[in-house]
Amino acid sequence: MASRRVIILGSTGSIGTQTLEVIAHLNALHDRGEWHERLEVVGLAAGARGDLLARQAAEFGVRHLALAEGEPTAPADGRAWSGVAAAEQMVQATDADVVVAAIVGAAGLAATLAAVELGRDVVLANKETLVAAGALVVPAAERSGAKLLPVDSEHSALWQCVQELSAGGGATVGGAVAPPMGETPTIERLILTASGGPFREWSREAIERATPKEALNHPTWSMGQKVTIDSASLMNKGLEVLEAHWLYGLGGDRVDVLVHPQVIVHSMVEFIDGSVMAQLGSADMRTPIQYAFTWPTRIGGRAERVSLADLTRLDFEPPDLERFPALGLAYDAIAAGGTSGAVLNAANESAVGAFLAGRIPFGVIPTLVRDAMEHLGSAGVTSMGDVLDADARARAFVAQRLPA
Ligand code: NAD
Ligand code: MG
């Protein structure tokens, strides 16, 4: 294959801009004869910031652009879409081999599902898509042959830990969804690591009163606002437990979390013989992004190296569900199934928005999510309508509870 055509959804965000950096790097290697394929960017989608979108399009020679808010300037020989459905319409109308799903939140749902249904391989950062609609996305990928290639550092780490299985060693591992693990009898459990966020050592009372400025001050990762707030509440880890559940087909009883403040071990797989495989590296999202493009092989990357000799210690401790109740809610959502993931996700998005707008204290975020889940219960998911309905009801529930 000489070239692969790539669409990036959410190209102006933290993951989107780092994806463009990785693509530029891989193309430079290609031009020097060190990498076998060229990545051609054929479509870009963003929410706002049409100016940055236009600059990216000019730099990478992209002809198809989508912008949710505002009118994108299409290149002379190109096409442009605008409005809430712009990203999905662009995916439908653009021939591509790979779609990078890096829109934040449920806003990325429709375009990501469209890519999966079209059989495009999906480089998946938008975890909310699996949390809300895993019951639709995973079967759709199995039907269309689309591969789901994880970018979330934990899920990429888990994937890297089981390469021997997907490299043909495990006859029981199959299906179109890469990386497959679900029916692998040799895997005992997955262990997701969490940095613990800025409030790891804070008291419950202090966490409940934390300000947006304090919550946005992440100790290790520099990311978009929403995922940063989720990291402070550990809701991000909860979303990732749900993401692992869908991606790898394991129940909540086989997906554990350990707090690991150094953020060197990105996750681990424990096997039935007691062996534990871990993936280590610096906290740099360009590594998992690049791996999603170069899998099943590796090529030189630009991330900072971990100096193991300079590390004095690696700490691990169980998460404190009293101080971080959001994490427990994710396990409740796996147990309840159906629309409960969509409710959890939408209630959380609304509550995070209200917190950032100064309308509720930090401690009320998980309370609102829990109340929404209890109040709305869970119904079966057979169509996108079921997911969107649960999403809308959860947002309305939270809106009603907000102070005037
Ligand atoms: P971000 O806020 O930096 O960027 C979000 C992107 O989505 C922007 O390009 C924005 O314009 C776009 N967008 C928002 N609404 C849109 C809409 N309606 N239509 C089209 N585009 C829209 O967020 P991020 O940190 O890059 O995170 C993106 C996703 O990746 C999230 O799901 C997050 O959980 C996940 N993720 C991020 C990181 C990280 O390091 N940033 C790590 C792991 C996973
Ligand atoms: Mg992560």
Which pLDDT band holds residue 162 (cuts at 50, 70, 90)? confident
Interval between CA 230 and ligand 2 midpoint (Å): 10
Tens-digit pLDDT profile for residues 204-247: 999 999 999 999 998 888 899 999 999 999 999 999 999 999 99
pLDDT above 90: percentage of residues in the chain: 85
Output the residue whose Cα is nearest ligand 1's atom 34: 227
Residue by residue, DSSP assigns 118-164 as TT-EEEE--HHHHHHHHHHHHHHHHHH---EEE-SHHHHHHHHHTHH
pLDDT for residue 165 is more than 70:
no
pLDDT of residue 220: 87
Residue 202 has, within 13 A of its CA and on its CB side, a CA count of 20
Residue 47 CA to ligand 1 centre (angstroms): 9
Residue 317 carries which DSSP code? B
Q: Please give the residue that has the higher pLDDT: either 307 or 359.
A: 359
Predicted local distance difference test score (pLDDT) of residue 168? 42
Contact call for residues 7 and 96 (beta carbons, < 8 A) = yes
Residue 189 C-alpha to ligand 1 middle, in angstroms?
29
**Ligand with smallest separation from the Cα of 70:** 1
Secondary structure of 57-112 in the HEC alphabet? Answer: HHHHCCCEEEECCCCCCCCCCCEEEECCCHHHHHHHHCCCCEEEECCCHHHHHHHH
- Pick the range with the lowest mean pLDDT from 98-107, 163-172, 248-257, 370-379: 163-172
37: helix, strand or coil: coil
Pocket of ligand 1 from Cβ distances under 6 Å: 10-16, 45-48, 68, 87, 102-104, 107, 125-128, 152, 221, 223-224, 227, 285
Residue bearing the CA closest to ligand 1, atom 31: 104
Give the pLDDT of residue 213. Answer: 96
State which ligand 1 atom lies nearest to the alpha carbon of 230.
34
Q: Which of 124, 223, 229 to mutate for ligand 1's pocket (most ligand atoms within 8 Å of CB)?
A: 223
User: Of the bound ligands, which one is closest to the alpha carbon of residue 228?
Assistant: 1
User: What pLDDT does residue 172 have?
Assistant: 29
Query: How confident is the model at residue 184, as a pLDDT?
Result: 72
Query: What pLDDT, on a 0 to 100 scale, did the predictor assign at position 85?
Result: 97
Say what the pLDDT of residue 128 is: 97
